[in-house]
Structure 1
Amino acid sequence: MNITVIGTGYVGLVSGVCYAELGHQVYCVDKDAEKIELLLSGGIPIYEPGLGEMSCTNMEAGRLRFTTDLSGAVADAELVIIAVGTPSLPSGEADLRFVDAAVREIGAAMNGYKVVCVKSTVPVGTNDRVRELLSELYEGPFDIASLPEFLREGTAIRDTLAPDRIIIGTDSQRASKLLSGLHEPLNTRILITDIRSAEMIKYASNAFLATKISFINEIANICEKVKADVTEVAKGMGLDTRIGPSFLGAGIGYGGSCFPKDTTALIQIAGNVHYDFKLLKSVVEVNKEQRYSVISKLHQALGSLEGRTIALWGLAFKPETDDVREAPALEIVDRLIQLGATPKVYDPVAMDNFRRLRNHPGIQWCSSALEAAKDSDALCLLTEWRQFKEINLAEVKAAMSGTVLIDGRNAFSEQQVSGLGFGYYPVGRPSLQEPFEIPEVV
């Protein structure tokens, strides 16, 4: 099949490379000439394990091409996939400017029957809007389909090639047959539904997962007060097949490009039809407050943070990605600086992206986890990278001037930290406050 994917962000690039891996002829299109040059040279503009190697392999095989020429790529395609960004507007609604611009260019380039799919996360009714725009520009036959994505950064290739399900929203048997055939080799469940339901499935799925995260974080906060262990509670909950174990890891809240954007967008979608989505509003509020639990624990351990040096391990919103959009570390760093503390920060891959958003003179940028810990009054783990979980904590303790370890992702067990002299503060688990002294601020 000849496929054109418009947009080379996380979704578009991963999708295009994986379709080529399945044996299709794929054009990936982007307006950013520098990004296309990077991709043509074998580079990858995002951090996603395995993506660079797969891209190069398929370029060498002649199945994958990158271009800025949307018209030429659309003319050759049977299937056109829109995977451009839909960032949040100040109101929380999705910004559809990039979708509209892509549709107008597609319409101008149409030269025969094609299926135009929207893979971008868009509000319910957007595909109807796409159909209307295309009809104004092209009088020939075409079909529209909603093809929502369910990729997770860090595991995006696996999620594309071994998905839980494929959702296809279309009112055309011809489009349904083509898209079912495209995804049949993935050997997964394929649900064919109407277009508006497919659009809603994406938002409903992300909103439900965000709800699970905020729920377990609320349970964690109660566990701290009643001296229960949220990890045991989550384990017991997860054994119930109606609940399941996924997304029950307590921590400092969700971030990234999807959950924050999609929850606020769904609240706006509900509001536009005069429905007050009270539950989801609470989910968002809980998540905002949860990241500041790190600050509360620092106050509990150190009192005033004025003049303190605080090490932060992890800036990306999750491991195995360089994405810092809506990462808890952003607000935590801001708050530390407001309180007069000096953040010493380190992340294995997200340093440059974080610096672009927070290039504050009060931040100390470190080249290793141990450098960040050196001479710090407290250490806060914000992203559970493997290298942090496997580090020698005795060496870390020896490098620090203080003794406070705040584990914002429950990456360490009590056995790992006991006997080392830490004042250990996890999330939703009993703290381990071994005898220690709070160093004076010099």
Structure 2
Amino acid sequence: MKITIVGGGYVGLVSGACFAKTGHDVTIVDVDSSKVGMINSKKPPIYEKGLEEILNETAGKNLCASTGYDSVADSDVSMICVGTPQGEDGSANLAYIKQAASSIGKELKKSLGYRVVAVKSTVPPGTTENFVRPEVLRASGKSVDDIGFAMNPEFLREGIAVFDFMNPDRIVVGSDTEKAGEIIEKLYSCINGDVIHTKTTAAEMIKYTSNAFLATKISFSNEIGNICKALGVDVYEVMKGVGMDHRISPYFLNAGAGFGGSCFPKDVSAIASIAEGMGLDPVLLKSVLKINDAQPLRIVEILENRAGSLKNKKITVLGLAFKDNTDDIRDSRSTPVIGALLSRGAHVSAYDPMASGSMKKIYPEIEYCNSPSDALRDSDGCLVMTEWPEFSELDKEFSLMKSQIVIEGRRILSVEDREGICW
């Protein structure tokens, strides 16, 4: 099948590359010409395990990138994968969705035959039906007999997104007609996964609910972790026992510095905003966000209790990405921690295998080092914020510190005499 992916960001690029790997003819549309050039040159603009290998295999063959929408008219499916950033009021900003729908509709004026427009971006329930569909039909001058609409949410974990795409827990297909749903399902014919057919609004809500529930598990674990620390109980022992209950499962029960990334914070905020807009009070969801906002600052409080005033002290931050195996710093727990350290007059040295360049755009004034040793040398304290595997191997490097105060936001270290945020 011929597919146009609108949006060459994280979701669009990974999805487009994986669709090409399974044999489809894919065009990725993005306004960023430098990103388009990189994709066409087989160079991924983001780091994702396995992505470069797929681009080497498909780019220039059945995968290309463009700044124009010309491919839409001949595509069986046009898939919207643009961002839905969080607005000031916590709601999802749909400006890029509207722009994509309008541009797709204009190109579909030229199309012959039945076409499907699918949304893969995370959007509030009702967006596909009440926002995308009327905009595409208006811009194209066509009817629902000519264009079908679908919602096909993604469930990709950064760092292993290619694996997740190829080995999905489920494939959710929300559609306004059976015909449109069958075409979207056909896209995944080479991938093993249970297909769930729903209405578009249900598919949109499945995505929000999944992220909100996982975020809730994390904040719940952190709340329990804070209590366990006060009681002198090992929260990891507690959660190991809890997670063995098949009704709960062991996943997302690791207490620590909280969740970040491009999905959980904005999606929980968006669904809470939707609820409030309908006159409901989403107490649990607001608590999930409140706990998550406060959690990383606890590590700074623990550091102050151990080291005293942080003014003019050198504090090392190991890990800047919101999780390992990515260079993504969106809503990284390191960001508020660095801000808190600087506000207390500390001098911050930082190390991350991939994310230093990204964090430098936010905090250009701190010292970025090329190794953990360089970052730790003569430091008065160390905060470990990301679970990079290489950090688990650190040992003698901590002896380079002036004062060996080591506090973890993720349970990754094997060195003795370290303290955890929740243990």
What TM-score does the superposition give when structure 1 sets the normalisation length? 0.92
| Unpaired runs of at least 5, structure 1 | 430-442
- 1:44-78 C-alpha deviation (Å, 9 max, x unpaired): 11111111121121125x111111121x1101200
Partner of 2:419: 425
Q: Which of 326, 343, 356 is the matching residue for 1:321?
A: 326
Is 1:331–2:336 an aligned residue pair? yes
Partner of 2:308: 303
Matches within 5 A, 1:249-398: 249-360=254-365, 363-391=366-394, 393=395, 395-398=396-399
- 1:303-354 C-alpha deviation (Å, 9 max, x unpaired): 1111211111000000011111111111111111111111110100000100
Q: Which of 192, 197, 202 is the matching residue for 1:197?
A: 202
Matches within 5 A, 1:93-132: 93-110=91-108, 111-112=111-112, 113-128=114-129, 129-132=131-134
Quick one: distance in 2 between partners of 1:222 and 1:180? Answer: 46
Write out the 4+ residue segments of structure 1 that deviate beyond 3 Å after TM superposition.
Answer: none
Quick one: distance in 2 between partners of 1:335 and 1:220? Answer: 22
Give the superposition deviation at 1:244.
0.3
Quick one: distance in 2 between partners of 1:315 and 1:221? Answer: 23
Quick one: distance in 2 between partners of 1:66 and 1:310? Answer: 43
Quick one: distance in 1 between partners of 2:289 and 2:147? Answer: 39
Contact 1:21–1:58 (Cα < 8 Å) also in 2: yes
Contact 1:168–1:192 (Cα < 8 Å) also in 2: yes
Partner of 1:135: 137
Quick one: distance in 2 between partners of 1:286 and 1:50? Answer: 34
Give the superposition deviation at 1:427.
3.2
Q: Secondary structure at the match of 2:345?
A: coil
Q: Secondary structure at the match of 1:276?
A: coil
Matches within 5 A, 1:41-190: 41-60=41-60, 62-70=61-69, 72-110=70-108, 111-112=111-112, 113-128=114-129, 129-137=131-139, 138-140=141-143, 141-190=146-195
Contact 2:318–2:372 (Cα < 8 Å) also in 1: yes
CA RMSD, 1 decimal: 1.0
- 1:235-288 C-alpha deviation (Å, 9 max, x unpaired): 111100100011011110111110111011011111111111000000000001
Quick one: distance in 2 between partners of 1:139 and 1:7? Answer: 24
Q: Secondary structure at the match of 1:312?
A: strand
Q: Secondary structure at the match of 1:92?
A: coil
Quick one: distance in 2 between partners of 1:57 and 1:167? Answer: 27
Which region of structure 1 is more displaced relative to structure 2, 134-143 or 82-91?
Answer: 134-143
Contact 2:41–2:59 (Cα < 8 Å) also in 1: no
Give the superposition deviation at 1:119.
0.3
Quick one: distance in 1 between partners of 2:406 and 2:197? Answer: 49
The residue type equivalent to 1:58 in the other structure is T
Matches within 5 A, 1:213-232: 213-232=218-237
Quick one: distance in 2 between partners of 1:358 and 1:403? Answer: 25
| Unpaired runs of at least 5, structure 2 | none
Quick one: distance in 1 between partners of 2:118 and 2:136? Answer: 12
Partner of 2:2: 2
Give the superposition deviation at 1:175.
1.1
The residue type equivalent to 1:145 in the other structure is A
Quick one: distance in 2 between partners of 1:69 and 1:365? Answer: 38
The residue type equivalent to 2:378 in the other structure is D
Sequence identity (%): 42
Partner of 2:412: 411
Give the superposition deviation at 1:99.
0.8
Contact 1:228–1:428 (Cα < 8 Å) also in 2: no
- 1:350-392 C-alpha deviation (Å, 9 max, x unpaired): 00100012212xx11111111101100111110010111122x
Q: Secondary structure at the match of 2:361?
A: helix
